[in-house]
Structure 1
Amino acid sequence: MKNHWKDKKVAVLGWGINGLDIAEYLLKQGVHITIFDDKEVDELDFSEFDTKKVKLVLGSSYIKYGLNSFDYIFRAPGVYRYLPEIVKAEKKGVVVTSVVKLFFDLCPGTIIGVTGTKGKGTTSTLIYQILKNAGKDVYLAGNIGIPMLTLLPKLTSKSWVVLELSSFQLIDMTKSPHIAVILNITEDHMDWHIDRDEYVKAKTQIVRYQNKNDIAAMNYDYSDSKNFSKLTKAKTYFFSRKGKVNGSYVEDGNIKLDVGSKIYDIGKTKKLLLRGKHNWENVCAAICASYLAGAAIKSIKEVVFSFKGLEHRLELVGEIKGIKFYNDSFSTNPQTTIAAIKSFEEPLTLILGGSDKGLDYDGMGKEISKSKNVRNIILIGDISDVIENAIKKAGYTGKVLKLGKSDMQQIVKKCVNVTPKDGIALLSPATASFDMFANYKERGSKFKEAVVNLKLRKTPKVASKINPTG
């Protein structure tokens, strides 16, 4: 087979897992690579890559001199698709593409794509685990799991690949997956997209290129998600936590599946280990998609009722003085924080704040104000004043504590001081983390570390009964 990549000049925009994935793939094809990133070399992780094989253009003015001299531009998801420099190069004939677009071109197996504002990781992992339990040759990639291009040597025509897909990845797609799963669509990444319309339109690419042999499963409870059914030629199914649909749904506390002549009773919502009604949507989505992919009902039930969730998503960290600590650091917008609040009935201390994503917090303020169990709010990070104004405007009468950019140890200590016994301390920030942490994972990990350290200090030492000379 002819290698059409050989000796091509390729710009890789944005380093990280995505950049490493494409750089390693292209080097094997004999490509001349230049890596561009707005960070300096000491801010980037090149520990697993030999930079002598490529050219580096780094720093704040990294694309100042344009991209017109390249044959291809591979854009990382975090790099805005319509930067003037990218658009100008494209008009000059440079091909603008991405890892996910290349993967869709090269993947010999069947792709299940999952998108939405939140719940993508949970739903994708559930689908993956169900199909694995059903004996499928299945892989998990995209924003979660393994870098997708490294999967290619392992894949066959019988393989299944579950991809978690963000609006960043979908915005310029020209192919859609065989099974498209559309979760809740609200609002996010307004610091990246020019407006909400562009954000929603980017998501629609997941169904626009489907054909009559494909499948689309959509969240019936959100108008934007439901309306995707008008944009696809695929067979359409739905999922809902509010009522009966053609697909999977919750009815009177029971999870059901109806995609044909028989209605299957999957089980009761109260038996799920995942907390929160928002997770009923994710579970129903995974049930619908995995069944349509060929999983047996037995395989579905076994996974759904044993799945404990993902790290940094309403994750129970530990207990100190009767207070349970939950890490929901992945919650980077108001909608997911609202869902997290609704997952608890116990007295709640809520940790909010971080860096500004340009989101509206008035709706969250109203939800907090009318909630009967949010006793304390601890505000951290750059956006503290914005969130404080939103909750005060909504009439919140609980205690508000502003801790600025205190370390997590101080934040956790404050939670212990103000949260009543049998209460909940919940890190669900409602915004990004970049003012204080590298990312949401570091924020969540620091929170967990602080809880564990404080718990160890609070635990009384017990004299050893073992003979030291023994």
Structure 2
Amino acid sequence: MQNFNVFGKKVAILGVSLEGTDSARYFVSLGAKVFCCDRRSKAQIGDRVNELEKQGVVLRLGSAYLHNLEEYNLLVRTPGMSLRLPELVTALKSGIKITSQTKLLLELAPCPIIGVTGTKGKGTTATLIAELLSNAGYRVYLGGNVGQPLLSRLPEMTPADLLVLELSSFQLEDGDCSPQVAVVLTVGSDHLANFDPLSTNFHQSQAGYVDAKKNLVRFQKAEDLCVVNADDPVANSFSKFTKAQVVRYSTTTKDSDAGVNKNYLVLKMKGMMTPIIPLTEIKLRGRHNWENILAACLVAQRYEVPVQTMQKVISSFAGLPHRLEKVATVSGITFYNDSFSTTPETAIAAIRSFTEPIILIAGGSEKGADFTKLGEAISKSPVQMAILIGDMAPKIETAIRKFSPHLKIITGLTTMKQIITKAFAEVRPGSVVLLSPAAASFGLFKNYKDRGNQFKAYAQTLTPKTHSA
């Protein structure tokens, strides 16, 4: 950190997001001349403009926001901005350094870093790791895609602290430094096309997506730790690309360092599989969440968290908003908000978490996904009816009909109020209404949070039924 000197230098923050604003705050504190570049107007950016201008940050907004990047000494890129943009390619060729908040944290943090990646479960696992460690007495910072941006808080961190980062493929794709502890959850398929109007980034192939995530482990050292999902061939293959000690978790085999045995989650301690917690005491639903917990326990073991602390934290951990979040029970009908599910794989995991009859709400905007496996999973599940919404409704319906030609499917609903009202009218007591879209939210909703919050609000204001449906 002592060699990182930007005093008086021109630093451009590319993208005025929450993270970008935090990055600007950090570089202002170091005496840099800070510029924030964004294609949006002041009105579109909103309240962040006032904070930036008060700090003396120069705003370069509008369609020409990426012009003349060669005049800066350092570019700090938002993860949603593609490195393949011609302006960034030109800047790199001219010798301008391009970095990101993630890269800076990995390079400059004075404390050990725990990085978590995968296609699903990153936020849940990273948050649980942070809870386990903080309950064991560590001062923990949680950031990346979950928690708060942390670059401006670097000066307060000490070597005794721990930093937990949830890291996406976009945050890792240009990485050249790995965390001391790397956690690799199930790696499926995502970000192979871009339909977000505020983003330019996507991976040109599945191989590119996976390769970007490998940077989490690629630069580890022998004294580091790599935690991988032994049940997922792609995640397990990451063990070939690290020099670190590798530990594995599995919910299907006994040949692992953490797993499931006789209705307990178990952890190998001193060569013996030790019970951590009964499955019945876990609030999180689904086998995929057992996997997330096992991964977190292996990290906790690294930092000598007592089993009693693991039990206490896991038994009380209810997960994150919009991830299989139980939001209401009305007339014996339970509503689950899984709006963060934007891929078929995450929707499949959600569906497999229930044995109760399900009314599934799925669909949204395009992400370039193939819904065939989702259709097959629905045919083998307790889904009794599907309400399909958005542009992806026809594609999902085709996938469902391939395996379940007689399943009741409802389409054409365009507001969450209509969707909740219809689901409630159709569902019977003892059933589950599950919002697990398997698609992006753009079009009908602002984002996944808006979609989930609307689902929660309408479910919580339903009037109980006076008789059985």
Contiguous gaps of at least 5 residues in structure 1 = 461-470
- Seen in structure 2, the aligned counterparts of structure 1 residues 205 and 364 have a Cα distance that, compared at 3 Å, is same
Please give the root-mean-square deviation of Cα atoms over the aligned residues, in Å. 1.8
Q: Residues 307-456 of structure 1 correspond to what in structure 2 (within 5 A)? A: 307-371=317-381, 373-404=382-413, 406-455=414-463
Is residue 242–residue 251 contact of structure 1 (8 Å, CA) maintained in 2?
A: no
- Seen in structure 2, the aligned counterparts of structure 1 residues 359 and 57 have a Cα distance that, compared at 3 Å, is farther
Q: Distance in 2 between matches of 1:252 and 1:221?
A: 18
Q: Residues 202-217 of structure 1 correspond to what in structure 2 (within 5 A)? A: 202-217=212-227
TM-score, normalised to structure 2's length?
Answer: 0.93
Q: Distance in 1 between matches of 2:3 and 2:314?
A: 46
- Seen in structure 2, the aligned counterparts of structure 1 residues 2 and 96 have a Cα distance that, compared at 3 Å, is closer
Question: Once the 2 structures are TM-superposed, how far is the Cα of residue 441 of structure 1 from its aligned partner?
Answer: 1.2
Report the more deviating stretch, 262-271 or 36-45: 36-45
Q: Does 1:304 pair with 2:314?
A: yes
Aligned with residue 249 of structure 1, among 259, 265, 288: 259
- Seen in structure 2, the aligned counterparts of structure 1 residues 391 and 122 have a Cα distance that, compared at 3 Å, is same
Q: Distance in 2 between matches of 1:367 and 1:38?
A: 41
Is residue 73–residue 96 contact of structure 1 (8 Å, CA) maintained in 2?
A: yes
For residue 85 of structure 1, give the secondary structure of its aligned residue in structure 2. Answer: helix
For residue 411 of structure 2, give the secondary structure of its aligned residue in structure 1. Answer: strand
Q: Distance in 2 between matches of 1:69 and 1:399?
A: 60
Question: Once the 2 structures are TM-superposed, how far is the Cα of residue 60 of structure 1 from its aligned partner?
Answer: 5.0
Matching residue of 1:22: 23
Question: Once the 2 structures are TM-superposed, how far is the Cα of residue 34 of structure 1 from its aligned partner?
Answer: 2.7
Q: Distance in 2 between matches of 1:345 and 1:60?
A: 51
Deviations 1:334-381 (A, max 9, x none): 10100100111111111111111111111111111232x111111112
Question: Once the 2 structures are TM-superposed, how far is the Cα of residue 259 of structure 1 from its aligned partner?
Answer: 5.0
For residue 270 of structure 1, give the secondary structure of its aligned residue in structure 2. Answer: helix
Matching residue of 2:88: 86
Matching residue of 2:61: 58
Deviations 1:89-120 (A, max 9, x none): 10111101001111122211111111110101
- Seen in structure 2, the aligned counterparts of structure 1 residues 349 and 152 have a Cα distance that, compared at 3 Å, is same
Q: Distance in 2 between matches of 1:296 and 1:153?
A: 30
Matching residue of 1:224: 234
For residue 225 of structure 1, give the secondary structure of its aligned residue in structure 2. Answer: helix
Report the identity percentage: 42
Q: Distance in 2 between matches of 1:449 and 1:109?
A: 41
Count of residue pairs the alignment pairs up: 455
Matching residue of 2:291: 281
For residue 233 of structure 1, give the secondary structure of its aligned residue in structure 2. Answer: coil
Is residue 123–residue 166 contact of structure 2 (8 Å, CA) maintained in 1?
A: yes
Q: Distance in 1 between matches of 2:271 and 2:400?
A: 49
Q: Distance in 2 between matches of 1:56 and 1:434?
A: 28
Report the more deviating stretch, 29-38 or 218-227: 29-38
Which amino acid letter does the alignment assign opposite residue 40 of structure 1? S
Q: Does 1:37 pair with 2:38?
A: yes
TM-score, normalised to structure 1's length?
Answer: 0.93
Which amino acid letter does the alignment assign opposite residue 245 of structure 1? D
Matching residue of 2:189: 187
Question: Once the 2 structures are TM-superposed, how far is the Cα of residue 414 of structure 1 from its aligned partner?
Answer: 0.8
Which amino acid letter does the alignment assign opposite residue 401 of structure 1? I
For residue 154 of structure 2, give the secondary structure of its aligned residue in structure 1. Answer: helix
Which amino acid letter does the alignment assign opposite residue 456 of structure 2? K
Q: Distance in 2 between matches of 1:369 and 1:277?
A: 19
Is residue 369–residue 396 contact of structure 1 (8 Å, CA) maintained in 2?
A: no
Question: Once the 2 structures are TM-superposed, how far is the Cα of residue 133 of structure 1 from its aligned partner?
Answer: 1.1
Q: Distance in 2 between matches of 1:3 and 1:243?
A: 47
Q: Distance in 2 between matches of 1:61 and 1:123?
A: 40
Q: Distance in 2 between matches of 1:245 and 1:4?
A: 49
Question: Once the 2 structures are TM-superposed, how far is the Cα of residue 77 of structure 1 from its aligned partner?
Answer: 1.3
Q: Distance in 1 between matches of 2:437 and 2:91?
A: 38
Is residue 243–residue 251 contact of structure 1 (8 Å, CA) maintained in 2?
A: no
For residue 177 of structure 2, give the secondary structure of its aligned residue in structure 1. Answer: coil
Is residue 245–residue 258 contact of structure 1 (8 Å, CA) maintained in 2?
A: no
Q: Distance in 2 between matches of 1:332 and 1:435?
A: 14
Report the more deviating stretch, 202-211 or 378-387: 378-387
Q: Distance in 1 between matches of 2:255 and 2:150?
A: 33
Deviations 1:214-233 (A, max 9, x none): 00010001011001111000
Is residue 369–residue 397 contact of structure 1 (8 Å, CA) maintained in 2?
A: no
Q: Distance in 2 between matches of 1:95 and 1:264?
A: 49
Aligned with residue 200 of structure 1, among 205, 210, 213: 210
Report the more deviating stretch, 99-108 or 37-46: 37-46
Is residue 182–residue 217 contact of structure 1 (8 Å, CA) maintained in 2?
A: yes
Q: Distance in 2 between matches of 1:259 and 1:237?
A: 12
Is residue 255–residue 267 contact of structure 1 (8 Å, CA) maintained in 2?
A: yes
Question: Once the 2 structures are TM-superposed, how far is the Cα of residue 239 of structure 1 from its aligned partner?
Answer: 0.7
Matching residue of 2:197: none
Q: Distance in 2 between matches of 1:360 and 1:38?
A: 32
Question: Once the 2 structures are TM-superposed, how far is the Cα of residue 37 of structure 1 from its aligned partner?
Answer: 2.3
Question: Once the 2 structures are TM-superposed, how far is the Cα of residue 200 of structure 1 from its aligned partner?
Answer: 0.4
Question: Once the 2 structures are TM-superposed, how far is the Cα of residue 459 of structure 1 from its aligned partner?
Answer: 8.2
Q: Residues 149-168 of structure 1 correspond to what in structure 2 (within 5 A)? A: 149-168=151-170
Question: Once the 2 structures are TM-superposed, how far is the Cα of residue 66 of structure 1 from its aligned partner?
Answer: 5.0
Question: Once the 2 structures are TM-superposed, how far is the Cα of residue 244 of structure 1 from its aligned partner?
Answer: 1.7
Q: Distance in 2 between matches of 1:375 and 1:199?
A: 35
Q: Distance in 2 between matches of 1:60 and 1:388?
A: 39
Matching residue of 2:198: none
Is residue 20–residue 78 contact of structure 2 (8 Å, CA) maintained in 1?
A: yes
Question: Once the 2 structures are TM-superposed, how far is the Cα of residue 258 of structure 1 from its aligned partner?
Answer: 1.0
Q: Distance in 1 between matches of 2:238 and 2:172?
A: 14
- Seen in structure 2, the aligned counterparts of structure 1 residues 42 and 208 have a Cα distance that, compared at 3 Å, is same
For residue 229 of structure 1, give the secondary structure of its aligned residue in structure 2. Answer: helix
- Seen in structure 2, the aligned counterparts of structure 1 residues 279 and 69 have a Cα distance that, compared at 3 Å, is same
